Chains A and B, each alone.
Chain A
Amino acid sequence: MKPLSRIVSRTVVLPGDHVDTDQIIPARFLTATTREGLGAGLFADWRRDASGSLRPDFPLNRPEAEGARILVAGANFGCGSSREHAPWALVDAGFEAVISTSFADIFRGNAARNGLAPVELDAAAHAELVASPGAEVSIALETGVATFPGGGSARFTLDPFARRCLLTGLSPLDFLLSHEERIVAYEDGLPRE
């Protein structure tokens, strides 16, 4: 994972609450055995109508959304299944951060492990962003500050370890493997079954 410290981009706004992972990437895209190319399934059933044509009014399909790296979403974003395909699809489509007032637990962890920053803002700052789609926002992960056009800003906190992984590209797997001795000692102490 490449280190990520600052994200500067226009936003795309998807305002509804409780957007579940079945919407982020529908189940029929889960037959993949690799991580690449899942962006094609991102919000597939909202982006396209039954005949497969793009719906021009869906926020991600508007011309302004082209190249956007920040998604502004409603509360409890990413609820539902544990599928890591959801952040893979967002990352594959070019996103580096999702801004919301809250995230579902599993999604939050899955996102951070894939270089997608889960940025939780307070309701007022979030409302400001929802009201101005396409605003140019700058997210500094080191300091935990999101800066809005016109100079306003809002603070957010990331889980310290997730922040460290995002900033340095540290892989949690390496971190776990570095504790091999402790793991062996723990296993030695387990009752035999």
Chain B
Amino acid sequence: MRPRTLFDRIWEAHTVVPEAADHPAVVYVDVHLIHEVTSPQAFSMLRDRGLPVRRPDRTWATVDHSIPTRQTGGRPAWLNAATRRQVETLERNCVRHRVPLFRAGDPGQGIVHVIGPEMGLTQPGRTIVCGDSHTSTHGAFGAWAFGIGTSEVAQVLASQCLLQSRPRTLSIEVSGALRPGVSAKDLILGLIARFGVAAGRGHVIEYRGPAIRRLGMEARMTVCNMSIEAGARAGLVGPDDETFAWLEGREMVPRGDGFDRAVEGWRRLATDEDARFDAELHFDASRLEPMVTWGTNPSMACGVSEPLPEPRGPEARAALDYMGLEPGRPLAGRPVDVVFIGSCTNARISDLRVAAGVLRGRRVHPGTRVLVVPGSASVREQARAERLDEAFLAAGAEWRAPGCSMCIGMNGDHLRSGELAVSTSNRNFEGRQGPGGRTILASPATAAASALAGAVSDPRPWLDP
């Protein structure tokens, strides 16, 4: 048989109706995740047509984007009536259609791309979709996971299927080893800086090579998360022992013999030695520094102590203008107003451990507001058990309830116009974190070090060797 890639196998196993000249393939969806922002209109489309949710048992809902992450007077601090209405609409829709929902305060609640893996819903070989572009995160487990629009959310709710043209495959082979203090976030920012924000368009990326194999699962999630920032709809990593060990014992993962059988199947998914990709790129991880973005798309990035490049073209010039930065000088030392440690890119327990390690026993700069927002209730609980929350609070950072928070600035946590932030999230678009706000993307270590200095900082002096 023709040698195949991991993606080829998932595609073939999920084709309900093959592609034809006048229509794309009908592809089956194993897991459908929904949240309050991109689902209300989808449920309305169902209601208009009198259609039920076909597989409520394959659908899971959470609230994350517009929920408050703090309380005032013992009550959730809703930004406005609209955000509250959006959450209540989801609750009503889930009750009506018997879709399981994690509400704010529930132990299973959190950012949709954090809780899927946590529950063990995210498994190798599955198709996973959500009305959210960072669904690519789940690819870290060797699943084909991608973001969809709201009409497609309605299609999946009604048919458990989607129409898909077969994407092309792109191998990104990462050689070398990351140096100490350089993380998965720096790696993906480095990749996007090198290959650009459209490099993956039309493709599913498979991240391969020794540098990827050495990453833990949470680090792989960080890499796959930002596949969309490289223009790809999905990015994945072949499952291995690291993957299986991370999954074992999770709620939705089979136990005992069932687990052993599942692992056997998962092992067979691996890309064949001699399989061909439609395109291939190579990257050497061993020379990377901690990365920071200086512009208004994620490819506008460089090492933290490198001088900012002379702008090539009008977009880079406009980006520097927007950011209030000058070429020729490094970002290190630049004062920052806000540090945000959170988001589906970097708010899992390993991220918080790194940040707490930098902040423990120290104080954040008095001129800098620092927000730490765990990715899920279970991350928050674990952080408490490890007393990371104490480290954050004692350092003068805010410690919030789980949600997207300042990553998207929908819930009242946002930058004020002109403020400059170091943020562990994934988008530095103009106004992404609040109208007029300016975002520097970086790793949790870099963000925490910048919080101490009140200025963009190389984290390496603060990290234990």
Chain A contact residues, CB within 8 Å of chain B: 16-18, 20, 22-23, 26-28, 30-35, 45, 50, 75-76, 79-84, 102, 104-106, 109-110, 113-114, 159-161, 164, 172-173, 175-177, 179-180, 182-183, 186-187, 193
B411 to chain A, nearest CB (A): 9
Contact A75 B147 (CB under 8 A): no
Contact B163 A172 (CB under 8 A): yes
**Residue in A33, A182, A193 with the greatest tally of chain B CB atoms within 10 Å:** A33
Given A80-B427, A172-B155, verify A102-B17 contact (CB < 8 Å).
no
> B residues within 8 A CB of A80?
133, 228, 427, 429
B425 in the interface, Cβ–Cβ < 8 Å?
no
Stretch at the interface among B34-42, B274-282, B361-369, B444-452: B34-42
Contact A183 B38 (CB under 8 A): no
> A residues within 8 A CB of B1?
none
Chain B 70-81: CB-based contact to A (< 8 A → 1; otherwise 0): 000000000010
B residues 61-76 with Cβ under 8 Å of A? 65-66
B429 to chain A, nearest CB (A): 4
Give chain B's interface residue range (CB within 8 Å of chain A). Answer: 35 or more
B458 in the interface, Cβ–Cβ < 8 Å?
no
A29 to chain B, nearest CB (A): 10
Given A35-B41, A176-B158, verify A182-B131 contact (CB < 8 Å).
no
Contact B159 A176 (CB under 8 A): yes
Given A113-B151, A173-B45, verify A160-B21 contact (CB < 8 Å).
yes
A-B contact pairs, 29 of them (CB 8 A): A16-B315, A18-B197, A27-B410, A31-B80, A31-B85, A32-B82, A33-B40, A35-B41, A45-B435, A76-B197, A76-B198, A79-B197, A79-B231, A82-B131, A84-B131, A102-B198, A104-B231, A106-B233, A110-B151, A159-B24, A173-B151, A176-B161, A176-B162, A176-B163, A180-B159, A182-B26, A183-B26, A186-B16, A187-B160
Contact B158 A182 (CB under 8 A): no
> B residues within 8 A CB of A84?
38, 41, 131, 149-151
B89 in the interface, Cβ–Cβ < 8 Å?
yes
Contact B410 A114 (CB under 8 A): no
Q: Which residue of B lies closest to A111 (CB)?
A: B149
Question: A164–B85 Cα gap in the complex (Å)?
Answer: 37
B28 in the interface, Cβ–Cβ < 8 Å?
yes
Question: A176–B28 Cα gap in the complex (Å)?
Answer: 11
> B residues within 8 A CB of A32?
40, 82
In the A-B complex, the 9 residue pairs with the closest CB atoms: A31-B82, A82-B147, A84-B149, A33-B40, A110-B149, A84-B150, A176-B159, A82-B133, A22-B429
